[in-house]
Amino acid sequence: MHISELNIYPVKSLKGIGLTEATVEKRGLRHDRRWMLTDKMGMFFTQREFPKMATITVDVREDCVRFSCPEVADLRIPVLPGTGDRQSITVWQSVCEGEVYEDEVNSWFSGVLETDCQLVYMPDETERHVNERFDTGDDIVSFADGYPLLIIGEGSLADLNARLDEQLPMNRFRPNLVASGSDAFAEDGWKRIRIGEAIFRVTKACVRCVMTTIDQTKGELTGKEPLKTLASFRMASAVYPETYETFGLNATGVLFGQNLIPENPGATVRVGDEIEILETK
């Protein structure tokens, strides 16, 4: 088994970036979800409410971040806001501190999404912890929904696609890491893995939502799939009939992919790295 894809999503819910290698930090891969769009009160935005977010392209460079979207002039901003304007930011049930960009930057995003919003950055001093059930005391996450990384096996997508009338690409599920050479849903049984130099704890399965029904190229909802089909065989009560509650899962949660927490931040992962299973559930 090896890594066939490596992706980051610098701004939560905007278009991802494919990489050949990345540094693993405590929060996840470097630059992954360190930025986010919110309303003026600090409540997070995602494709769930604004599918068009999928069409905004991001390019992170050493000195700036560039954004582009069809029919709109490109935007270039500094990597760090530099405004000093800190605000409480809400991501699901967690609240943390973010730094808000200037009005000119926020106006660009407000125009694209046709709603008043702002871009925020997670400063290094902000520590947003993962769910206490899986937090060893020092496990933090970026603006991702709940955990630093997500891994999915190519075999799992192939199994799902065999059940669908229309084939779906992996980007519907927005993984950071894609595994090649594993059996379908083999990742369900992993507990601890090594990828190249990096070691990860496999915490819990990822519960999927309406974002999986959004075409990531067009930024449009496409119907009930793949959730409808996944619900027929990937509910938590079917995948982990005896143990789903120990993972903090609801019986009807639809599962696809596994969340990871890094054990040795600072390591590098690369496309082609071998995946070694250190422990199983």
Q: Which helix (H) or strand (E) holds 104?
A: helix 103-113
The DSSP line for 114-175 is TS--EEEE--TT--EEPPTTT--SS-EE-SSSSSSEEEEEHHHHHHHHHH-SS---GGGG--
Residue 272 lies in a domain: yes
- Distance CA(140)–CA(189), nearest Å, equals 23
- Distance CA(35)–CA(108), nearest Å, equals 15
Residue 7 lies in a domain: no
Say which residues have a Cβ less than 8 Å from residue 279's Cβ, sequence separation at least 6: 190, 191, 192
- Distance CA(205)–CA(218), nearest Å, equals 27
Res 207: pLDDT: 98
Residue 47: pLDDT band (50, 70, 90) is very high
Res 169: pLDDT: 98
What average pLDDT does the segment 144-157 reach?
98
What average pLDDT does the segment 254-268 reach?
98
- 244 lies in the same domain as 178: yes
- 135 lies in the same domain as 246: yes
- Distance CA(114)–CA(229), nearest Å, equals 33
What average pLDDT does the segment 120-128 reach?
97
User: In the listed set 100, 126, 152, which residue is the last one of a domain according to the structure?
Assistant: 126
- 70 lies in the same domain as 161: no
- 111 lies in the same domain as 160: no
Half-sphere exposure of 115 (CA within 13 A, CB side): 14
Res 124: pLDDT: 96
Total H helices, total E strands in the chain? 4, 22
- Distance CA(188)–CA(110), nearest Å, equals 40
What average pLDDT does the segment 144-149 reach?
98
- For residue 153, give Cα distances in angstroms to 21, 45, 219, 247: 18, 28, 24, 20
Residue 71: pLDDT band (50, 70, 90) is confident
CA nearest to 34, candidates 67, 12, 65:
12
- 98 lies in the same domain as 188: no
Quick check: 84 pLDDT over 90?
A: yes
Residue 138 lies in a domain: yes
- Distance CA(23)–CA(265), nearest Å, equals 8
* Domain encompassing residue 183: 131-280
- 186 lies in the same domain as 83: no
- 237 lies in the same domain as 143: yes
Residue 57: pLDDT band (50, 70, 90) is very high
User: In the listed set 92, 126, 160, which residue is the last one of a domain according to the structure?
Assistant: 126
What average pLDDT does the segment 139-143 reach?
98
What average pLDDT does the segment 117-131 reach?
97
CA nearest to 11, candidates 37, 29, 42:
37
- 232 lies in the same domain as 144: yes
Domains: count for the chain: 2
Residue 12 lies in a domain: no
Residue 118: pLDDT band (50, 70, 90) is very high
**Could you give the 3-state DSSP secondary structure of residue 45?**
coil
Question: Is 0.85 topped by the overall pTM?
Answer: yes
What is the end-to-end Cα distance of the chain in Å, rounded?
18
Res 59: pLDDT: 98
Q: How high does pLDDT run on average in the chain? A: 97
The DSSP line for 77-89 is E-SS--S--EEEE
What is the length of the chain? 281
Quick check: 94 pLDDT over 90?
A: yes
- 135 lies in the same domain as 268: yes
- 141 lies in the same domain as 260: yes
- For residue 261, give Cα distances in angstroms to 98, 150, 264: 22, 9, 9
CATH number at residue 206: 2.40.33
- 142 lies in the same domain as 264: yes
Chain position carrying tokens 């027929």: 232
pLDDT in tens, 219-234: 999 999 999 999 999 9
What average pLDDT does the segment 145-150 reach?
98
Residue 70 lies in a domain: yes
Residue 6 lies in a domain: no
Percent of the chain with pLDDT over 70: 100
pLDDT in tens, 9-44: 999 999 999 999 999 999 999 999 999 999 999 999
Residue 236 lies in a domain: yes
User: In the listed set 71, 104, 126, which residue is the last one of a domain according to the structure?
Assistant: 126
- Distance CA(279)–CA(260), nearest Å, equals 13
Residue 55 lies in a domain: yes
- 53 lies in the same domain as 68: yes
